[in-house]
Chains A and B, each alone.
Chain A
């Protein structure tokens, strides 16, 4: 640590070079953060899926519906503690472009999703209002909805008995952790079923909680075999597997992000930083020789050069990470398409580690060159 001032002084000697190197490293880590944010957004909450929640849908796919009568049978299956239903409604608000998830759910749906934070009195109001809706904070802010507002939603799939528009009362606004989707719009399944023109008594999917996550496969298998050879055969999976399947449909986003990231880190970070360090060592050849003459050991010289490289990496990279963290931190870029547009703490920490590692990698060649310098050669060279 006592050599930190020396390293710092060295950095200040070529201010222009230091600044542009820092800027390049900074941008590299802004990009790293941005790519991680995109990846988080595309992973659609797979990481936070409840291990004790199962999803059941029609065997041929989500567009086929299941009878509401299944709910009771599921509920009485050993191992299942809670069960509720949900149906995709579609729907748009005002403009066709304003699409967000509108979902009709059973009354006890939120018992299964404690992640959605709803004030007690608001939830109660919703339960007592047939036409009530619970909306996410992000959507409420975006469209300026307040408790008590009457909101018209244009039908896309389910048309009401009259006209094209459904009306709901905003009874509650739910909130949640940073990485919880806060754009959804929930309303009562009963209201949907009473007022649509077709498909009475059908729901989209069932969600259930089980008493022991390690029995998930067994309980799922038991449930599916119950409905085998019925009018609607089922497919039950953990919520995680369900979401992962959905993510996989988009394609291998992760591989793509890693490919881009490699290109970014190599060209903006390693190359520029390594070049800067190589130049610095070349410039200071005679000086390093003097230090060695003064008795600086080889490992110490190595450490000094590596330290300089790491310092550049950590300052530039750290600032880049912090800048993105705060820029997207408030969730201001949230939209219904990619509802969770945030940077996870995990990615922040990984970023810092990456900074240090790449700082060492970039500095290693110049540092070894510096260490191996023979005093006599180095002093003669200038």
Chain B
């Protein structure tokens, strides 16, 4: 057994060591596999980044209340009187006898996207003072908080990067809406950073909403009191609302986009992988055929067929691993953290996010490379192992 192992190791080392002699054809396999890994990791990092921006926006100890039947904040709506009733619900966090529940309005304004120069739907959120206590991850990083009762507003940090005309100090005008940006806020790169926040009264006035709101974001006592809160609201005959944990809410809002990107990404990766496997098979066949005499000599010296088989596979896996590492590294360097924004198909609003080349993506990419190497090496390895010694030695 030990001898067999030693043999195999020796032959495998030999074939890996001699790779530089077959540089040009080996390069085809390495570059091919690296190409697949780059595309695979890059496309999926878009999905990961989008999902992260969305799901990190939610907290398990907060709940989102929308009108029954509404599928997003955009399509939701309820009166101010209903919002007041909601603040009486049990399970809500209270500070100085005040419920941490933030009734908000959510509309869309056209802002020019830097990358295309055309208008894009940027969310404008109307908030009340309590909102900053509820959304405790938000803090001002430039300028100052807006004054309630004025037409001042603050803008998310990602939004200032992706859109023009909404930077600190600028005035945004569209129709009857006129707001002045006095501060920039940060929420840790989540979807909320794509929004502009101003006084809810301003939105109500400009959009003729009267005393109404579209959603209520509630801080809970603890994540566990969600059920109490939800049951009280949904069984209250004065209300017609649906209640979701904020994490679930954002998860749902990102489902379609993430699914779409993943669907397209995996289709491209699988097809490209199949193509690259064919390239790898060609490379390995070439490797075997140029080494025909060498392999036959090894066999004649008494090395067994399994050692030869494994040596070819080892070469193929080594090439794949090199390709996988190069591809993963290149994708990481080129794409990780790349800032962009897209329109969420479920809400039609812009979400800014950064490509995220996560560790799990890199591991997936490398594993995929090794699988390609394994499949690519299999047929040529069998061919090598089956070489009839006598004829092979005579060849060339």
Where the two chains meet, the residues of A that have a C-beta atom closer than 8 Å to any C-beta of B are: 16-17, 20-21, 23-24, 27-28, 30-31, 34-35, 38, 58-64, 90, 92, 96, 154-157, 159, 164, 232-233, 244-245, 248-252, 260, 263-264, 266-268, 271-272, 275-276, 278-279, 337-338
Contact = CB atoms under 8 A, between A and B. Distances in A.
A27 B274 contact: yes
A63 B107 contact: yes
Contacts of A20: 278-279, 281-282, 285
A272 to B, nearest CB: 5
Interface of B: 24-25, 28, 31-32, 34-36, 38-39, 43, 68-71, 74-75, 107-110, 113, 115-116, 118-121, 174-177, 207, 256, 260, 264, 267-268, 271-272, 274-276, 278-279, 281-283, 285-286, 340-343, 345, 348, 350
Nearest to A164: B69
B92 to A, nearest CB: 27
A263 B271 contact: no
Contact of B285 (A16, A157, A268, A271): A16
B43 A249 contact: no
Contact of A159 (B69, B115, B276): B69
B340 A251 contact: yes
Given A27-B278, A267-B32, A276-B282, A156 B69 contact: yes
A96 B72 CA distance: 12
Contacts of A154: 69
A249 B278 contact: no
10 contacts: A20-B279, A59-B174, A90-B75, A156-B71, A249-B118, A252-B115, A260-B39, A271-B31, A272-B282, A275-B28
Contact of B108 (A63, A164, A264): A63
B113 A249 contact: yes
A90 B282 contact: no
Interface of A is mostly: helix
Given A59-B174, A275-B28, A34 B71 contact: no
Contact of A60 (B75, B177, B279): B177
A31 B174 contact: no
B69 A60 contact: no
A245 B207 CA distance: 23
Given A60-B109, A164-B69, A271 B74 contact: no
Contacts of A278: 24
B379 to A, nearest CB: 9
B282 A337 contact: no
B255 to A, nearest CB: 9
Contacts of B268: 31, 34-35, 260, 264
A227 to B, nearest CB: 11
A249 B162 CA distance: 11
A267 B272 CA distance: 9
Given A17-B282, A245-B118, A264-B272, A64 B340 contact: no
A264 B282 contact: no
- Find the residue from A16, A62, A64 having the highest chain B CB count within 10 A: A64
B108 A271 contact: no
B106 to A, nearest CB: 10
B264 A38 contact: yes
Given A20-B278, A267-B35, A164 B110 contact: no
A21 B119 CA distance: 46
A316 B35 CA distance: 20
A144 B214 CA distance: 35
Given A63-B108, A64-B175, A24 B275 contact: yes
A204 to B, nearest CB: 13
A159 B348 CA distance: 20
B291 to A, nearest CB: 15
A267 B36 contact: yes
Contact of A34 (B38, B43, B271): B271
